[in-house]
Amino acid sequence: MERIHPTNRYLHTQGRTVRVPRDGRDSHNELSGTVHGPVVQAGAVHGGIHIRSQEASVARPPWQLPPLVRVIDRTPELAALERHRTRAMRDGRSALAAVSGLGGVGKTTVALRWLHTLRPHFPAGQLHADLGAQSPEGPTQPGEILARFLRALGVPAQQVPAMLAERTALYRSLTANQRLVVLLDDAATAAQVRPLLPAGGNVTAVTSRSRLPGLTVDGCYPVHLEPLTPEAAVELLADTLSDERVTEQPAEARALVELCAGLPLAVRVAGARLAARPERGITTMVRALTEEHQRLEALAIDGDHNVRAALDLSYQALPPSAARLYRLLGLHPGREFDASVVTALSGVEHDAEEPRATELLEVLHDASLLIDAAGERHRFHDLVRLHAASKAQEDEAPQERTRAIRRIADHYLASATRAEEIIDPQHRTMARDYGTGPLVIADVGSDSDAALDWLERELPTLMAVIHQARSAGFPTVCWQLADALWPLFLRRKFYDDWCAAHQEGLAAARELGDVAAECRMLTSGGVGELGSGNPDRALEMFEQAAQLFLDSGDRLGHARTLNYRGLALQRLGRQREAAEFFLRATTELPANGDHRAGGLARLNLADVALTTGQAEEAVRHADAARTTLQGAGDTYNAARAATLLGRAHLVLNRLDQAEELLSSALAALRGMTANYETARTLGSLAEVAERRGRTHLARDYYREALDLYSSVGRSQSEEAEAARHRLRQSESGESGV
């Protein structure tokens, strides 16, 4: 059951303000569980009703840009970017610029320098996303980033639309009248970028190794960064050393930066190496770097051998413990990590004689091998990550690499499972199988919201672990981690990741021959397919699970698939077959001990009856479902049953019963911010008001219903279209059209 800590909302009705606690709630999931918490109970409510969120009025703008580092000799590029912004603002357009260049040339640094100066002029905030063109798991899907942007802009998780097109539309609607800046880092293609462009007078900077000519049609201004001039590179070296060696050895300094090919990353790494040894002259580094160049020349890729040579020298100078941590971190499948990963990689309890994780991280930061990320986290530049991974291949035995990868996987599996337990303590969590060694669990927070936020923040890494686990020889981690992500997927609707995780998990379960795991992957994954608009695939998965449950003698598991299969058939328009499955579920589920699920099956059966014109049958089933669900303490689904019961009475023209039921359902649903179900209830109440001649009240209900449909990305649904049509008819009738 879902338990999300309430925040305060205010219900304004007839001049009175009532403070109403609310629970987070999946807005349109027929499989949802009980919602807990107080609600406002009311009879018939007349007049316009408006809800505003207290937290929305005090929400802080997102300030997501990473910290700024000093920029050397990029004045012409920064001036060009600012001229482009000024022209765009003057013409009433958004400003879009793409900064391209070699790896290590300073693209992100330049973009950050520009965008940080704009903060006073763009009070709506700053959004940032790593698009992952160079990441091990491949580029990030735009839909995933849009979901994060929408939440950062204040959209509740349960109101983020499921489809990419709807997320894009909502994002542009929200940003149309805002003034914010967006940094899209490490883009792969123009197509990946385009859905992430805000509307209105906003500023977006994109960084990429390629020039992204496809963004030209979007008014993009291209800035291509060349390596630093020798003079600027020497200035950067002097800034890194912070002593007199550059002044005292100018020729050697120039030779060193030329060996770095003017790439800021290479200069900083070489400078950090020298800064750690103030007694050494620059000549020593020049000689060592020349030798590395000769060794690495055959490995050059897009000029990055200059960086590789500098990295090799820095790596060779690390203390043994820090060097081992560096190469083991190269096996980490994600882009960012915190100190708990370092502790997990140690594989042993802390030894007083060994440096602590934080000390080793500081050594790597001092050597310019790690970069700070938000929230006391750390990340590699993509070239540095590749270098660290290559060192792991060269300097770690295969069995040690395998152990390290398993410790990382176990760390994330244990942490995700802890988050799952906090978010959904009554979910039937299956047993977890960990490797040897102590488990290190991250701080995932102490409440549901914090645990959900942790899962979302780590989702790219968690997905990378899932994709890596089978090939690494850990199929149990693969399906168990997919299972642990269920609460996140159910509440925050990452449908692409939901389906991909369960496809991998299903393959892993079959590889293991684990029937229970296979059934879990089929049913949980099928719900994801159903939500993402693939009912055919969902039905196929539910039927496979049903056969497996039947073959293994699991009667309750088989009974639960009846409800799932019925929902898939209903989505496919096969109402008669759906009704047969729901009818069987109403008897088989209670017979096997799950009375609440039996009540949900009867509610689904009532829905089919109403859809197929059997209003009296709908009344009978909905009334029985409401009684069962109220008895089980399932307030949310009991309210859904009351709405359906009211709609059935409305079809039968029993207006008093319809209004009473719909009004009580509306009061309960408002307390849960269940916007989709609330909108459906409002639409039915509007029809009651119309039949009773309360035209103005009906219009208020229709308008609010349309706002709520839009808030959950269902503005084009059949229900929304019907409400829109009836509202137009009502308004046209009054104007005499």
Residue-wise pLDDT tens digits, 113-128: 999 999 999 999 999 9
Q: Output the average pLDDT for the chain.
A: 84
Share of the chain above pLDDT 90, in %: 54
CATH of domain 75-224: 3.40.50.300
Section 492-511 average pLDDT = 93
Q: What is the pLDDT of residue 384?
A: 82
Q: Tell me the C-alpha distance between 674 and 665, whole Å.
A: 11
Measured in whole angstroms, the distance separating CA 142 from the mean position of its chain's CA atoms is 10
DSSP 65: P
Q: Tell me the C-alpha distance between 503 and 500, whole Å.
A: 5
Q: What is the pLDDT of residue 156?
A: 81
Tokens of 243: 């002593």
Least trusted range by pLDDT, from 9-18, 291-300, 418-427, 606-615: 9-18
Side by side, the strands of the sheet bearing 377-379 are 336-337, 377-379, 371-373
Q: How confident is the model at residue 352 (pLDDT cuts 50, 70, 90)?
A: very low
Alpha helices in 592-694 (DSSP H): 595-611, 615-631, 635-651, 655-670, 675-691
Condensed to tens digits (0 to 9), the pLDDT of residues 176-189 reads 888 999 999 999 89
Least trusted range by pLDDT, from 129-133, 381-385, 566-570, 607-611: 381-385
Q: What is the pLDDT of residue 69?
A: 76
Section 229-258 average pLDDT = 90
- CA 207 vs CA 93, 101, 164, 368, 369: distances in Å: 20, 8, 22, 21, 21
Element (H, E) at 377: strand 377-379
Q: Tell me the C-alpha distance between 400 and 392, whole Å.
A: 9
Q: Tell me the C-alpha distance between 454 and 442, whole Å.
A: 9
16-21 and 125-130 beta bridge pairing: unpaired
Measured in whole angstroms, the distance separating CA 513 from the mean position of its chain's CA atoms is 31
Q: How confident is the model at residue 73 (pLDDT cuts 50, 70, 90)?
A: confident
Least trusted range by pLDDT, from 59-73, 236-250, 698-712: 59-73
Condensed to tens digits (0 to 9), the pLDDT of residues 282-323 reads 988 888 888 766 655 433 434 456 677 777 877 888 899 999
DSSP 574: -
Section 517-525 average pLDDT = 97
Q: Tell me the C-alpha distance between 39 and 17, whole Å.
A: 14
Q: What is the pLDDT of residue 4?
A: 29
Residue owning tokens 């580092």: 69
DSSP 332: -
Least trusted range by pLDDT, from 374-383, 656-665, 711-720: 711-720
203-208 and 95-100 beta bridge pairing: parallel
> If 0-12 CB within 10 Å is exposed, 13-18 middle and 19+ buried, where does residue 67 land?
exposed
- Asked if the model's pLDDT at residue 43 lies above 80, the reply is no
Tokens of 192: 């990946």
Section 430-435 average pLDDT = 91
- Asked if the model's pLDDT at residue 594 lies above 80, the reply is yes
Contact assessment for residue 381 and residue 311, using Cβ atoms and an 8 Å cutoff: no
Least trusted range by pLDDT, from 94-103, 291-300, 537-546, 622-631: 291-300
Q: What is the pLDDT of residue 712?
A: 67
CATH T-level fold of 320-396 = Arc Repressor Mutant, subunit A (1.10.10)
367-376: burial string, b at 16+ Cβ within 10 Å, e else: bbbbbebeee
Share of the chain above pLDDT 70, in %: 87
Q: Tell me the C-alpha distance between 330 and 387, whole Å.
A: 8
SS3 content of the chain, % helix, strand, coil (to 5): 60, 10, 30
- Say which residue, 340 or 68, is predicted with more confidence: 340
Least trusted range by pLDDT, from 19-28, 153-162, 685-694: 19-28
Q: Tell me the C-alpha distance between 138 and 131, whole Å.
A: 9
Give the number of C-alpha atoms closer than 13 A to the C-alpha of residue 625, restricted to the C-beta side: 31
Condensed to tens digits (0 to 9), the pLDDT of residues 625-642 reads 999 999 988 888 899 999
- Asked if the model's pLDDT at residue 648 lies above 60, the reply is yes
Domain 417-660 has CATH 3.40.920.10: no
- CA 468 vs CA 241, 405, 481: distances in Å: 40, 9, 12
Q: What is the pLDDT of residue 49?
A: 37
Section 255-259 average pLDDT = 88
Alpha helices in 142-263 (DSSP H): 142-152, 164-175, 190-193, 230-241, 245-248, 250-259
- Asked if the model's pLDDT at residue 348 lies above 70, the reply is no
Least trusted range by pLDDT, from 9-18, 429-438, 501-510, 703-712: 9-18
Q: Convert 73-116 into a string of H (helix), E (strand) and C (coil).
A: CCHHHHHHHHHHHHHHHHCCCCEEEEEECCCCCCHHHHHHHHHH
Q: What is the pLDDT of residue 3?
A: 28
- Asked if the model's pLDDT at residue 536 lies above 80, the reply is yes
- Asked if the model's pLDDT at residue 84 lies above 50, the reply is yes
